Structure formats: structure tokens, C-alpha cells
Chain A
Amino acid sequence: MMRMQPHSEFAGTPVPAAAAPIAIELSEASVTFGRGARAVPALSTTSLRIADGEFVALVGPSGCGKSTILRLVSGLVQPSSGVVIVGGREVAARAMRVGMAFQNPTMLPWMSIERNIMLPLKIVEPFRSQFRKLRKTEFRDKANALLEQVGLKGFGNRYPWQLSGGMLQRANLCRALIHEPRMLLLDEPFGALDQFTREELWSILQELWIAHKPTVLLVTHDLREAAFLGSRICVMSARPGRILDDSRVDFVRPRTVAMTFEPEFVALNQKLRAFIVDARTAATKGAA
């Protein structure tokens, strides 16, 4: 069902038939918002198959439907046509056990960072029923262990307004991971951060991924970020989006920021960039 494209030679081999079990499958899924004359197509018929434990980066011009794919997978949006299967089940109104993080960290200002991070445990079973009993001991340790992994050791008792943007975004990653989701959906999580903080968080996210091996779907505008983090990159066309290119990134892990300046890496970035420039030009011509 994979929409294979001929231009995938640049970053290693084309995506092979997945050997690992399929975590996410979109078959012929499309999304249209509104109805009748005012209908806005957000996502053209798209097929995508993501294996368990893969790290997929979605790039493309703005407004191309990248976030729509995330919302489809999380069950926040229903496909207008086609089927979305996550973890072997069709996505219905009830949602999966996914972790999500957006560009805006949305920590609740009246709770300490630790309690903010524990919020998903209040909602998701089986933690929910244990919450009253365990929140002071095991759950707290769990939250603090995660905080330590992202370099926020000892900040659990602080309040969100006491932390910088980068620190909040680290806490946001912790909140997305606390309930041990098999799937992590990230929508431009580092978009609002400065270059150096962003690079630091790439490494942290990579470590978290290597440690927990969830299936990750990362939406980003930053091509270096996509190439640094992704084991696979999907390039999308302008709105209504469809997948133009889908290819594997085989740089060894753990990747370092220094690697992003090596010729191979730069070449990959340039190729990705060319795709998006083409997509943007095509969109402008289509509109004219």
C-alpha cells in the first residue's frame, strides 16, 4: 500500500517492506474540514505505514496537513474517507494511549512541575485507579526519574513560571512519556526555542527514544531536526497534503550535532529542501 516514489535514492535505501509489526497504518485516508461549498481539504488521500519503534519525521510547507496526520493518529480527528489503524485497531472516538507534545508546553500554572508531569497518570488506566495510593511514592519517583533523564533533576517542586522555555519543553516531553506510551506524537515541540537549546533537546529526545523505543511521529519545519532525529523522513506537498517522498535515514546512532555539518548530512538537507521548494512553487502556480 506504500506510496513509493522514484526519488528516494539520496538517503540510502528506499523503505523496505516493514519487518517489525505495524504500529500505525493510514490507508487511503483523507481529511476534509467543513462541508459543501465551504469544505477545506486538509489532507489528500494518503497511505502511510509505520513500523513499531520507528522514528518518523514529517516535513513539508506550512499548512500542508502534517498536524492533521498527527491528529488522525491520535484519534482527535476522524478520517473523511479511508481507514486509520493504530496498534492493530481502527481509531475510533476513544483514544489510544499516546503521548503528545506541542510547541506550547501548556503546563498548568497552579501545579508544581512534578504534579504537572503526573497529570496523564490521573487519566490513563491502569495508573488512574492507583493514583490515590501511589502518587506520593512510586509515581513521584517515576516523574523524578524522567526529570533526571532530561536534565531537570531537582526541579520537580518548582512551578512552571519559574522555568525557562527550554526547561518547560523538557518537562513537556516528560509529561508525554510518563504513562509509558507506545506512541509519541510531537507537533513542532522545539519550534519556539533558540538554536542551541533546540540542539540540546534533540540529543535528549534521541536518548529517550533509544531508551524507551516508542514509535515516534515528529512534525517539524526544521530539516536539520528531521534529519538528525528521524529514522525515516516523509516529505509532504502543499495543502491539501500528500506524501511526496518517503525515505530512510541511515546515519549511525547516537547522532551528534557535529554530524549535521558533514557533507552527507548537508546533502540530505539540500535534497529535502529542494522537495519543499518545489512543493511551494507548485502550490503558488496552482493558486495563480
Chain B
Amino acid sequence: MSEFDYRQKAWSAGLIVLFFLAWELFCLMTGMSDLVLPRPSQVFTTLFEKFPILWPHILQTLATTMIGFVLGVGLGVVLGAIIGVSKTAYDTAYPLLVGFSSIPKVAVVPIFVLWFGSGTVPAVLTALSICFFPIVVNIATGLATTEPELEDVLKALGASKLDILWNVGLPRTMPFFFASLKVAVSYAFVGAVLSETVASNRGIGNVMMTASSNFNVPLVFAGLFVLAGLGVALYVIFSLIEGRVTGWATRKNDVITT
């Protein structure tokens, strides 16, 4: 890692600290009531004090997110593979997929609640339905952009469609796939919290909803901080996995010449 990277990181951390300091000072100077906007110090104190109560809800939210995410990835990979391999399937299914993905998912939650009652199931389904689309698009794009010459070389050897998919199509899709994973995991998280907020008695979304109806504003903000932290953590984890698995796709300027 170069000196430049370290300096970049220092600046990023500095900006975050500066943001909280400015917030704190703004509240102190204007004498803002903590019923409207609590100071970050209050929020962190609440977070620390209420952590034992928050913990099961954090686990709940993480669990629904991950279950929805895993199911969404499964569905996304299958659909993406199907429409990526066949041009006809791509053209046929794409309008429907776009239509489905452009529905605001908050509008779908009441339907899930109607079918499955409030709680974990609608949260998982919302997470799933919001996160599978970027995966479908990326898998399909990766498969559809396989070089025709290479396909010809392999077909001339007698390779079946499955051989080509396994040896060329799927590996070349990996950078697209992992790039979409980190987007999808954030989406899944948004979906899970959304559903918990609307219809659940567990999860961080529900904690925030309850706290806000009790005017416990610092707790609302504590919930928000937890969500931000979890969202960043999930994103970072999948970015790291992406870097490890598909390092070949990020080229280095290291060309040998004859």
C-alpha cells in the first residue's frame, strides 16, 4: 500500500470525525432539544447503555438480511444464467424483470404481510426481492459478453454448451458477480429494515419505530448508527471477498515485452 493510500484514509477518517464534531457543536450552540436532534455524544452513550437490549435486534436484522440475500443470490444466479445464455430468453424476459425491479419495494411489503403475517418472513422476502435484480443483470451481462472467437475455438473441438458455460462463461462472470454481490447485500439490508419498520415486532427497524413513538429520539439515532455500521461492514466484507477472488480482472501495469 502506498503512502498516498494512507493519506487518503487519514483524510477520510478526519472528515468523519469533523462531521460529528460539527454536529455536536451545532447542537450545543443552538441549544437544540434532544427531542429534535440529539448530540452525537448522547447517541453514543445511549447506544452503549442500551446495547444489551439492541443486540438481539441486531442479530434479527442481520439474520433476515443474510437469509434474504442468500436466497436472492440463488434466484439471481439461476435467472441470470438462463437469460445470459440465450438471447431469446434475454429479450423475452428483460421487460418483465425491469418492470418488477422498478416497483418501489415498500409497496410490496403490505402484500407479503397479508400473505405471511408480520415478522421475519416478509422481511426476508423484501430483502430477496430487492437484491436479486443487480445479480441477474450482472450475471447475464457477463455471460452474454463471451468472445465469439473463443466460443468457436471450443465448439470446433466439440465442446458442449455446458462445457463452454463451465470453463469460460461462469469464470468470466465472476468479476461482474462479485461486484453485484456488494451492491446486492446493501440492497438486501435496506429491504430487511424497511420491512421491519413497516411490519414486525423485532429487528432494528422495529426498535427505531417503537423508540420514535415513545419520543426516545436518542435511541432512534442509536438505531440509525447501528444500521450505518452494519451496512458499511457488509459492504466492506464483500469488497474484500471480491478483491481476493477476482484479482485477475484488475490489471496491473506490469506488461513484459519481447
Given contacts A97-B158, A124-B157, A166-B258, contact A104 B152 (CB under 8 A): no
Q: What A residues does B147 contact at CB under 8 A?
A: 104, 106
Nearest Cβ distance between residue A132 and chain B, in whole angstroms?
14
Q: Are A164 and B255 neighbours in the complex by a CB distance under 8 Å?
A: yes
Q: Are B155 and A110 neighbours in the complex by a CB distance under 8 Å?
A: no
Q: Are A108 and B171 neighbours in the complex by a CB distance under 8 Å?
A: yes
Q: Are B254 and A162 neighbours in the complex by a CB distance under 8 Å?
A: yes
Q: Are B249 and A109 neighbours in the complex by a CB distance under 8 Å?
A: yes
Given contacts A108-B172, A109-B249, A110-B248, contact A97 B157 (CB under 8 A): yes
Q: Are A95 and B156 neighbours in the complex by a CB distance under 8 Å?
A: yes
Contact flags B141-169 to A (C-beta < 8 A → 1, else 0)? 00000010110111111110001000110
Q: Are A106 and B256 neighbours in the complex by a CB distance under 8 Å?
A: no
Nearest Cβ distance between residue B5 and chain A, in whole angstroms?
22
Contact flags A152-170 to B (C-beta < 8 A → 1, else 0)? 0000001101111011000
Given contacts A100-B153, A108-B168, A159-B248, contact A124 B255 (CB under 8 A): no
Q: Is A122 an interface residue (CB 8 A)?
A: yes
Q: What A residues does B158 contact at CB under 8 A?
A: 94-97, 123-124
Q: Is B251 an interface residue (CB 8 A)?
A: yes
Q: Is A185 an interface residue (CB 8 A)?
A: yes
Given contacts A104-B147, A108-B171, A119-B167, contact A164 B156 (CB under 8 A): no
Q: Are B255 and A162 neighbours in the complex by a CB distance under 8 Å?
A: yes
Q: What A residues does B152 contact at CB under 8 A?
A: 71, 74, 76, 100, 102
Q: What A residues does B163 contact at CB under 8 A?
A: 122-123
Q: Are A96 and B156 neighbours in the complex by a CB distance under 8 Å?
A: yes
Nearest Cβ distance between residue A121 and chain B, in whole angstroms?
10
Cα distance, A185 to B252, chains bound together (Å): 33
Q: What B residues does A164 contact at CB under 8 A?
A: 255-258
Nearest Cβ distance between residue B151 and chain A, in whole angstroms?
9
Q: Are A110 and B256 neighbours in the complex by a CB distance under 8 Å?
A: no
Cα distance, A104 to B258, chains bound together (Å): 19
Q: Are B156 and A102 neighbours in the complex by a CB distance under 8 Å?
A: no
Interface centre among A71, A96, A98, A161 (most CB of B within 10 A): A161
Q: What B residues does A75 contact at CB under 8 A?
A: 156
Nearest Cβ distance between residue A253 and chain B, in whole angstroms?
26
Cα distance, A104 to B149, chains bound together (Å): 7
**In the A-B complex, the 8 residue pairs with the closest CB atoms:** A106-B150, A74-B156, A102-B149, A110-B248, A95-B158, A123-B159, A100-B156, A123-B157
Sample of 15 A–B contacts (CB below 8 Å):
A71-B152, A74-B156, A76-B155, A76-B156, A94-B158, A97-B157, A102-B153, A104-B149, A109-B249, A110-B248, A123-B154, A161-B255, A162-B255, A175-B153, A179-B157
